[in-house]
Amino acid sequence: MTDHTTPPWYVLTAGPSAGKTTLLEELARRGYCTVPEMARAYLNSERAKGRSIEEIRSDEIAFQYRLLPLKRAAEARAPRNEIVFFDRGMHDTIAYLRALGIALDRQATQHIIGSSRYRKMFLLDMLPFVADDVRIESIEQVERIHNSLLESYQTSGIPVIRVPVLPIAERANFILQNL
């Protein structure tokens, strides 16, 4: 049964290098409203100012907290009456902090999540990890983040749909069939 008080918002998430951005681009190509990953946008804007990835992410906890207002602003701009796919949601911040070993109490968790609500989270099964100019995680960290993402959304009661590794068009079809 669909909760009609929650906007038709869906999160695509996974550990780094799972194909989220490519999948989001496919959904956008099909005419769906999409919201890109705020971390990558922030990293790119800071790098344009001459800062290195190492500088920007030297304090990973502070980095995660810097993303919160960007994520909130993106959600504030998102239409509440049409399907929207987010490349990562607010719960991803909780997952990343937990993967860093930060224990969050209920109050801190609620502060991070705020009023964010999603109908479902689509957890993409992992592809082989490929480092790039903004990914600094080790394979072990990627696995820890991936597992923490699952836990963060499940704990919040958001239905999780696991998306198998498939060609991009088939992955998009799978998601659309499971809205």
Is residue 107 a part of any domain in this protein? yes
Give the per-residue pLDDT at 81. Answer: 94
CATH code of residue 26: 3.40.50.300
Give the per-residue pLDDT at 136. Answer: 65
Is residue 4 a part of any domain in this protein? no
Please give the average pLDDT of every successive group of 10 residues along the chain, which has 179 residues. Answer: 76 89 96 94 92 89 90 94 96 90 86 88 86 68 87 92 96 98
Is residue 43 a part of any domain in this protein? yes
Distance CA 12, CA 161 (A): 10
Coil, helix or strand at residue 124? strand
Q: What pTM did the predictor assign? A: 0.88
Distance CA 56, CA 139 (A): 21
Strand order of the β-sheet with 84-87 is 33-35, 84-87, 9-13, 120-124, 160-163
Is residue 18 a part of any domain in this protein? yes
Q: Number of structural domains, the chain?
A: 1
To the nearest whole number, what is the mean pLDDT of the chain? Answer: 89
Give the per-residue pLDDT at 107. Answer: 87
Structural domain of 160 = 9-177
Give the per-residue pLDDT at 40. Answer: 86
Is residue 2 a part of any domain in this protein? no
Q: Of 157, 143, 76, 63, which is closest to residue 109 (Cα–Cα)?
A: 157
Please give the span between the terminal C-alpha atoms of the chain, in angstroms, as a whole number.
Answer: 11
Give the per-residue pLDDT at 1. Answer: 43
Is residue 30 a part of any domain in this protein? yes
Is residue 1 a part of any domain in this protein? no
Give the per-residue pLDDT at 116. Answer: 85
Q: Which residue type sits at 80? A: R
Give the per-residue pLDDT at 88. Answer: 94
Is residue 3 a part of any domain in this protein? no
